[in-house]
Amino acid sequence: MLRTLTDLLPAGDLAGKDGRGSAKEGSSAPYASVVFDDGGGAARISLSLGRIDPGGESAASMVACPSKALVDFDECRQETLSDGSRYLFVQGYVHDRDRGAKQWRSTLLTPAGVLIDASEYNAPEEKGAAVTRADPPLTPARMKSLVTADEWDPIAAAYQAEAGAPPEEGAGGPGGPSGEKTVAALTGLLPSGLAVTDRGGEPGYAYVVVDDGKGASFVQINVQPGMSDLAGDFAGGTTLPDGTLLRETQDGDPDQKGGAGSVGWTVDTLRPDGLRVVIMAFNAPAQGRDASRAEPALTMAQLKGIVLDPVWTGLG
Q: Domain check: are 210 and 157 in the same one?
A: no
Provide the pLDDT for residue 172.
36
Provide the pLDDT for residue 202.
85
* Distance separating alpha carbons of residues 8 and 17, to the nearest angstrom: 14
pLDDT digits 0-9 by tens, 75-111: 999 999 999 999 999 999 987 777 789 999 999 999 9
Query: Which domain CATH number covers 203?
Result: 2.60.120
Q: Which pLDDT band holds residue 187 (cuts at 50, 70, 90)?
A: very high
Q: Domain check: are 53 and 158 in the same one?
A: yes
Q: Domain check: are 267 and 146 in the same one?
A: no
User: The sheet that has 205-211: what strands, in order across it?
Assistant: 195-202, 205-211, 216-224, 276-282, 263-270, 245-252, 238-239
The arithmetic mean of pLDDT across residues 149-177, rounded, is 72
8 Å CB contact between 32 and 1:
yes
Provide the pLDDT for residue 165.
61
The arithmetic mean of pLDDT across residues 50-78, rounded, is 88
> Could you tell me if residue 284 is inside a domain?
yes
Q: Which pLDDT band holds residue 311 (cuts at 50, 70, 90)?
A: very high
Provide the pLDDT for residue 92.
94
Provide the pLDDT for residue 67.
87
Backbone dihedral angles phi then psi of residue 77, each to the nearest 5 degrees: -130, 135
Hey, which bits of the chain come out as E strands?
A: 13-20, 31-37, 43-51, 73-80, 86-93, 102-109, 114-121, 195-202, 205-211, 216-224, 238-239, 245-252, 263-270, 276-282
Q: Are strands 205-211 and 195-202 parallel, antiparallel or unpaired?
A: antiparallel
Provide the pLDDT for residue 170.
47
Mean residue pLDDT of the chain comes to 90
Provide the pLDDT for residue 252.
78
The arithmetic mean of pLDDT across residues 224-246, rounded, is 94
Cα first-last separation, the chain: 38
Q: Domain check: are 156 and 242 in the same one?
A: no
Provide the pLDDT for residue 140.
96
> Could you tell me if residue 168 is inside a domain?
no
162 has a pLDDT exceeding 80: no
207 has a pLDDT exceeding 60: yes
Q: Domain check: are 156 and 186 in the same one?
A: no
The arithmetic mean of pLDDT across residues 228-232, rounded, is 93
Q: Domain check: are 121 and 220 in the same one?
A: no
* Distance separating alpha carbons of residues 43 and 138, to the nearest angstrom: 10
Q: Domain check: are 52 and 16 in the same one?
A: yes
Domain carrying residue 74:
2-163
> Could you tell me if residue 243 is inside a domain?
yes
Q: Domain check: are 287 and 143 in the same one?
A: no
> Could you tell me if residue 22 is inside a domain?
yes
| Tally of domains within the chain | 2
Provide the pLDDT for residue 174.
47
Q: Domain check: are 112 and 214 in the same one?
A: no
Number of neighbours of residue 28 by Cβ within 10 angstroms: 11
**Strand partners of residue 130:** none
Q: Which of 132, 163, 194 is the last residue of a domain?
A: 163
Number of neighbours of residue 174 by Cβ within 10 angstroms: 13
Provide the pLDDT for residue 77.
96
8 Å CB contact between 34 and 5:
yes
> Range with the lowest mean pLDDT among 3-7, 21-25, 91-95, 263-267?
21-25
> Could you tell me if residue 302 is inside a domain?
yes
Q: Which pLDDT band holds residue 243 (cuts at 50, 70, 90)?
A: very high
pLDDT digits 0-9 by tens, 250-296: 987 666 666 788 899 999 999 999 999 999 999 999 887 889 999 99
pLDDT digits 0-9 by tens, 120-134: 999 999 988 999 999
Q: Which pLDDT band holds residue 27 (cuts at 50, 70, 90)?
A: low
Q: Domain check: are 152 and 203 in the same one?
A: no
> Could you tell me if residue 173 is inside a domain?
no
The arithmetic mean of pLDDT across residues 65-84, rounded, is 91
pLDDT digits 0-9 by tens, 169-178: 543 334 678 8
312 has a pLDDT exceeding 70: yes
| CA 96 to the chain's CA centroid | 14
Q: Domain check: are 37 and 152 in the same one?
A: yes
Q: Domain check: are 212 and 157 in the same one?
A: no
> Could you tell me if residue 63 is inside a domain?
yes
